[in-house]
Amino acid sequence: MAYRFVATVLACGTASLALAQDRAPDGRRYLSQPLVTSIYTADPSAHVFNGKIYVYPSHDVPTETPDDDLGNQYAMHDYRVLKMDKIGAPVTVGPVALDVRQVPWASQQMWAPDAAYKNGTYYLYFPARDKTKDKNGLGKFMVGVATSKSPMGPFKADPKPIAGAFSMDPAVFTDSDGKSYLYFGGIWGGQLQRWKNGTFDPNGSDTDLGQDTQPALTGKVARLNPDMTSLAETPHDAVILDEAGKPVLGGDHDKRFFEASWMFKRGGHYYYTYSTGDTHFLNYATGTSPYGPFTYRGHIMNPVQGWTTHHSIIETGGKWWLFYADTQLSGKNHLRNVKLTELTFNADGTIKTIDPLVK
């Protein structure tokens, strides 16, 4: 079934999505409207495959679990792919592409995914908790991969997670030379802080390292093997530098990495983009290599309605587009809706900051 860029009252399973309001509770107007209203979606990873746009989002589901620092309220358990012929065209919601019950190593919480294509095969990269137990009785987040001959799935998961990849928010970037790189990691519920010594500490911090005057924790990046299902190297730190050329500090919450890595290339420059988490910005930093280091440049988007901001950026139809999510449909942090808006560059390659809520 297809849906246009309008908000309607539709039922989905046990959830009946409310009519979208034109204005936020503070009276400001939403810059964009939800792409679909039949299901709750977030963390959109958009790609152009064979001339069509495919979006790989998280599939949010209702739960009575209260919000916490571990992210237990984000109880997603499957993926459904969105498809549109072009920007502004009707959006098709695909059937279930992969369910956590079909992943041998996983226990719960299939968070933000990404996808890639190579030699006739589509690859779905996803995080999920494994079946171990930490101090909170929860599994550790690992990164898995599944394959399909169709961009909409269904996907078949590899029996084990990707060796050497961990935490959450996988994102794949393929450079102009054909080499592909996997970015991953997130602090707080994503558990990146528990890998500080190279191995997982099940009793580690639930948030960060509490080292505000030290270099911030970084996302990770590693080149993928040609098989696209394994790492070719030990992951590197995706270091973000401040304007003085020094690593951004853990206490600089407006600049430091929290989650949601996304890489794109424009004009010979690598744009490493990410979310600041608890300060709710989408940021970008640039470098001359997919490994970095990356110099902080500014905010892509100011805070949306809702706690999380996770995005993707693509070029199609001669323009650049930012895919993001907010909570317009539900007003609840764990029930989000995917949106998009045009991304604009200045002549020097910097990005004009977007306000998702306007007067």
What amino acid positions are annotated as catalytic residues? Answer: 43, 259
Exposure class string for 53-75: b at 16+ Cβ within 10 A, else e: bbbbbbbbbbeeeeeeebbbbbb
User: Is residue 120 a contact partner of residue 50, using CB atoms and an 8 Å limit?
Assistant: no
**How far is 244 from 133, CA to CA, in rounded Å?**
42
Amino acid letter, residue 14: T
**How far is 171 from 153, CA to CA, in rounded Å?**
18
User: Which pair of structure tokens corresponds to residue 188?
Assistant: 């707080």
* Residue (of 260, 258, 261, 263) closest to 276 by Cα position: 258
Q: Tell the burial category of 256 from Cβ atoms under 10 Å away from its Cβ (0-12, 13-18, 19+).
A: buried
